[in-house]
Amino acid sequence: MAITFTGTKTAQSEFPEIIQEIYSDSPTFRGETIELVEGHKSGMDIYESSASVTFSAANYGPVTADNVALATQKSTVNLKTFNVEGIIDESSLLGTRFEKSMAAGAFNVVSDEFDQRVLIQVQPATSAKLESGVWNGATTATKAAIAALTPNAAQGSISAGAQTLVAAMPTTLFDSIPATMLYNDSNSKAVAGAGLGDYKKVLSIAAVTAPSIVAEYVKFYNTIPDDILVKTGEDAPIIYAPKGDYKLIKTVNRVQGAALQENFVGNSFNDMYFNDVKIIFVDLVGFRIVAPKSHLKLVMDLLSDSSQLIIEKEANASTRRVLKLINTMTTWVVNQKWNVLYGG
């Protein structure tokens, strides 16, 4: 790829605005979808604990029973560092509209308009790419590990459909949320270490279409653990769904009327519920997730890294400039057995 100018360089009159491409929104990086965890450069240790108790007959003397089981597990999360970088050859802008904003002097070929009106698109394009990667992508290693698992329709195993969806994901430098749910090396699972996640799988699923979406969401809803479904506030469950589901919901609500709207209630893309569970539409492909926001984490160094675009000269005597943006991040999932994965 390169930063280029395409078109005939003429002195024709021109449209005053530069038409910019539209990029998808990045709600995850505004903290609106999952928990953002900053302050980690290469890795982070996550501790999870669980406890159980039993009762014994009253005893007013010395403690003789050991009725409390308390376990704490540590898992290490490794972050990935990656770049966005490019080269700008300013001399290619000579003879174009951008020449007007260059300072006098033959060596001055930097265009303020080009910087302000065109290069500014790199940041939203980067944010859109990162947003997509959080929800749809897997590393080469994770794709291979998931492909090697033995599929089964039963709970506690991966489905063949999930393997197909992961194989079709873009190959990325860090795993997306669904990829991490499916395969991770957490020590807090029933079987610690690298392997299948402890998610709740929605069984006997079918293609999600306008006629079937209510029935499929009912299966989804009924798989949510009761102890999660009754939570409120920050611990309340959230349905994370592909953006395309919104169109299906609006279409079927319009066709079938008020009876169906008792299931799907809401007036906009950012205000939709299924049986009182909030739906957030994200860049998922094929998968759907139910989890409290705090169970899904995006671990990074600084949130602002995704917008820190550096532009500088390639060398003192060069008309070329370089631009670079560096990010460090990965995804992680906690309290895995309480989360639901549709498509898993």
Q: Give the per-residue pLDDT at 52.
A: 82
Write down the pLDDT at residue 69: 84
Task: Please report the pLDDT score of residue 107 as a whole number.
Answer: 75
Residue 211: CA count within 13 A, CB half-sphere = 1
Give CA–CA dist 234/284, Å, rounded.
22
Query: In a 10 Å sphere around its CB, with 0-12 CB exposed, 13-18 middle and 19+ buried, how is residue 214 labelled?
Result: middle
- As averages over each run of 10 residues, the pLDDT of the chain (344 residues) reads 60 51 69 90 88 85 84 90 84 81 80 76 85 96 97 95 97 97 92 93 95 94 96 94 95 68 83 95 97 95 82 75 88 95 94
* Contact of 171 with 137, CB cutoff 8 Å: yes
Name the amino acid, one letter, at 236: A
The pLDDT of residue 15: 46
Helix (H, G, I), strand (E, B) or coil at 82: strand
**Rounded to a whole number, what is the largest CA-CA distance in the chain?**
98
Provide the phi-psi class of 276: left if phi over 0, else alpha when psi is between -120 and 50, else beta: left
Query: Closest Cα to residue 136, out of 103, 182, 187?
Result: 182
Q: CA–CA separation, 330 vs 299, rounded Å?
A: 5
pLDDT of the residue at 253: 82
